[in-house]
Amino acid sequence: MVTETKTDRRILRTKEAINKAFLELFTEKELEQITINDISERANVNRGTIYLHYTDKYDLLDKCIEDHLSNMFVACSVSIDFNRDKIDLIDELTSVFDYFEANFLFFSAMISTQRTSVFRERMLQIVVANLNEKLDQRDIHRSMNKELIVQFTASAFVGTTEWWIRNHMPHSPQYMAEQLWKLFEKHDVYAR
């Protein structure tokens, strides 16, 4: 009989408190100025509890980034199927922007510090991998270099997302998805 192990709810709440405290501090200070003691005080946990889950603040940052980026693609079901119509693709882009909006504290903290390049690079890697997987399923732009298409699309998406978050989301997720899709259509990104 296979038993499925579930993480204790107390552990989940503790990790959530640690992550929230870390992100709040991250919006107030540079990473180098944040101490484990700051995090433990803000999260109302012992320093040892933080070290039980993370090796240091850099490990905490890396795990926050990985968790959010992977959750973004899982929760939003970002799987572009080029056989579907435009409306479905806009809906999927909207769900991505909805995720950004719901997790504004995290994303604004990640793009408003000197560590932005680390986050941006990781986000680009995930978007590129996702696009490569989808483009491999279809013969898109046989006359164009696939790598260039992927880099163009991923960079446009990440750059537009950064702008939107830095400007405190001046447009709705639906509007952003529609505009981004129009840009991709205009540049014939997904033509066969």
| Contact predicate 90/33, CB 8 Å | no
Which band of pLDDT confidence, cut at 50, 70 and 90, is reported for residue 176?
very high
H or E element: which one contains 146?
helix 146-166
Q: Rounded to whole angstroms, how far apart are CA atoms 146 and 192?
A: 12
Q: What is the mean pLDDT of the chain?
A: 83
Give pLDDT, residue 17.
94
Give dist(CA 186, CA 192) in Å, integer: 14
Residue 7: what residue type? T
Percent of the chain topping pLDDT 90? 36
Token readout for 161 is 């997302």
| Domains of the chain, start order | 1-54 (1.10.10.60), 61-186 (1.10.357.10)
Residue 1 pLDDT > 50, yes or no? Answer: no
Which of 162, 75, 60 lies closest to 120 in space, CA to CA? 162
Written as six digits, the tokens of 2 are: 């296979």
Give me the pLDDT at residue 78, please. 47
Residue 79: band (very low, low, confident or very high) from pLDDT cuts 50, 70, 90 = very low
Question: CA-based angle 9:12:18, to the nearest 5?
Answer: 140
> What would the mean pLDDT of 29-34 be, rounded to a whole number?
88
Confidence class for position 184, pLDDT limits 50, 70, 90: confident
What's the number of CA atoms in the CB half-sphere (13 Å) around residue 120?
17
Average pLDDT for residues 2-16, to the nearest whole number?
A: 77
Digit-coded pLDDT (tens) for 103-160: 898 888 888 766 667 788 888 998 888 888 777 776 665 677 888 888 988 999 999 9
Highest mean pLDDT among 1-15, 55-69, 77-91: 55-69
Q: CA-CA distance, 28 to 22, in Å (whole number)?
A: 10
Whether the pLDDT of residue 189 is over 80: the answer is no
Pair 104, 27: CB distance under 8 Å: no
pLDDT at residue 77 greater than cutoff 60: no
What was the pLDDT predicted at 161? 93
pLDDT value for 49: 95
> What are the structure tokens assigned to 123, written together?
């986000």
- Helix, strand, coil share of the chain (percent; to 5): 70, 0, 30
Q: Report d(CA 96, CA 1) in Å as an integer.
A: 38
pTM > 0.85: yes or no? no
The CA distance from 82 to 135, in Å, is: 8
